[in-house]
Amino acid sequence: MADARVELVNHDLVDGWAAAWNARDVDAVVAWYAPDGSHRMASGNTYRGAEDVRAMVDRALRAYPDLRFDVRRTFATEHDFVIEYTMRGRQQSAIGDRPGTGEAIEVEGVLVGSTDDDGRVTACVDYLDHLTIRRQLRLAD
C-alpha cells in the first residue's frame, strides 16, 4: 500500500506542525505562523498574531498534558496545505467552558491553510468536532 501522504513542495511545513505540538514546544508552534498569522477554529474562536496563538497553545497544553497529534494525510503546495489528523489526550484541567474531567479524548480534525513566501502560516482554519470532544469528556449526550 502506498504512503497516504501526497508529497509536493511544502512537506516540511506539515511535518513541523505535528512535531512542534508533540514535543510540547510552544515556541516552535508559534514560529510555525507568520507574525500576523491567524488560526481560526471552525467553531468560532480566532487567534491572530503570536500573542494570541501562544495563549491558545499554552491553554491546550495545560489542559491536556499528554496532548498528541497523529497526522493521517497531508497535502501541501507552495502556499496551501491540508493536514488531516487525529488528536488524543486526557483533559486534566479546564479549557474554555469545559472543566477538567480526567477523561481521554480521541477526535479527528482537518487543518486547512495558506502560507507566505517564507513558508509560515498566514491563515488557517481548524475543523475539529467539539461535540465529539464534549461527549468523550461526558459533558454532552
Model pLDDT, residue 104: 97
Give the H/E segment covering residue 71. strand 68-76
Q: Quick: pLDDT tens for 111-128.
A: 999 999 998 999 999 999
Model pLDDT, residue 84: 95
Of all residues in the chain, the percent with pLDDT exceeding 90 is 75
Model pLDDT, residue 131: 92
At 64, phi and psi to the nearest 5?
A: -120, 85
pTM, two decimals, is 0.87
Model pLDDT, residue 11: 67
Q: Quick: pLDDT tens for 18-62.
A: 999 999 999 999 999 999 999 999 988 999 999 999 999 999 999
